[in-house]
Amino acid sequence: MSAHAYFAGDWLALREPLDHASRDASLTTRAARALDTGPVAEKTIVDLGCGSGSNLRYLAPRLPGPQRWHLLDHDRTLLDAASAGNCRDRDGRRPAIETHETNLADTAWHRLLDDADLVTASALFDLVTADWVDSLADACAQRRLPALFVLSVDGAIDLQPSDPEDPRVLARLQAHQARDKSFGAALGTDAPRVVRQAFSRAGYAVHAADAVWVIDNAAQAAVATALVTGWRDAAIEQSPSEGDHISQWAERRCRQLRAGELRITVGHQDLFAMPRTR
Ligand SMILES: C[S@@+](CC[C@H](N)C(=O)[O-])C[C@H]1O[C@@H](n2cnc3c(N)ncnc32)[C@H](O)[C@@H]1O
């Protein structure tokens, strides 16, 4: 996925149903339990790289209220589109929402996390660096904050039936995922391991689970086509001299999608981290 397409609002809207269907429910339950025992009445939830609010729309009805969401992103257009939709919290109240235009590459954690009861992020960690994750883990540990980080790509992509060009395209895609996306050399598919290890080192009990996108029916044609063309664009950006092979691969794969003859799975990891009791 090219950097531009990766953040576009229409792509985020297309992927939202897949994201919500694949998330691990048991980790959300752990996050809800962590908030249930919190000391304050209103729960402040900080969503890093919130986009247009998909993570909020998934979590709000599953977490106790009242809730105040701090939605952080550097993209003003996405922030302006962010909303809870019709969501109510688990106790039937409308969540309060504040948007903050923030470049998360500047790790001013005291400003961002001081009021938080839970920190969360969705589809963010493949973009960041290992140092950034270490600094987030330390900042969370200092505040003894629970953390729920979901939908980090893990590189486990499968297309059935297979195509001789799959390995070439997926290798270029993986290399592209490691390019700088505004934080420095990106973690890409290393993100789940790096986040797990950083929070363990910072004194957290870490729970991880698979969150796999399964694309296997005609109703998903729009998101599937956007996914395959996004992979094509990223692979060509990574290796322009292979453009013809990669474009032909994408045409074949899109034809198969339209005919309902292609099944795609895309692996992600969800993670919930809770400070260990002292
Ligand atoms: C893949 S999108 C995920 C959006 C949202 N969390 C979701 O699940 O739909 C990654 C988000 O990170 C944001 N982002 C990327 N780099 C950023 C930075 N340096 N500071 C703040 N936000 C950033 C993008 O604007 C985008 O909204």
For residue range 46-65, what is the model confidence (pLDDT) as tens digits? Answer: 999 999 999 999 999 999 99
pLDDT band at 171 (very low <50, low <70, confident <90, very high): very high
- Give, in degrees to the nearest 5, the angle at Cα 244 between 242 and 250: 100
Structural domain total, the chain? 1
- Which amino acid residue places its CA nearest to atom 14 of ligand 1? 49
CATH number at residue 132: 3.40.50.150
3-class SS at 167?
Answer: helix
Structure confidence at residue 4 (pLDDT): 44
- Which amino acid residue places its CA nearest to atom 1 of ligand 1? 123
Rounded Cα–Cα distance for residues 62 and 101 (Å): 26
Structure confidence at residue 2 (pLDDT): 45
For residue range 186-213, what is the model confidence (pLDDT) as tens digits? Answer: 999 999 999 999 999 999 999 999 999 9
Give the gyration radius of the chain's Cα atoms.
19
Instruction: Please determine, for residue 38, whether its predicted confidence score (pLDDT) is greater than 70.
Output: no
On average, the pLDDT of the chain sits at: 94
- Which amino acid residue places its CA nearest to atom 13 of ligand 1? 49
pLDDT band at 6 (very low <50, low <70, confident <90, very high): low
Q: Which atom of ligand 1 is nearest to the CA of 16?
A: 9
Instruction: Please determine, for residue 1, whether its predicted confidence score (pLDDT) is greater than 80.
Output: no
Q: Can you give the residue range of the structural domain that contains 61? A: 3-275
Which of 18, 75, 148 has most ligand 1 atoms within 8 Å of its beta carbon, as the pocket-test mutant?
75
How many percent of the chain have pLDDT more than 90? 88
Using a 6 Å CB cutoff, which residues line ligand 1?
6-7, 12, 19, 49-51, 54-55, 73-75, 78, 102-105, 122-124, 127, 182-183
Structure confidence at residue 5 (pLDDT): 52
Q: Which atom of ligand 1 is nearest to the CA of 78?
A: 27
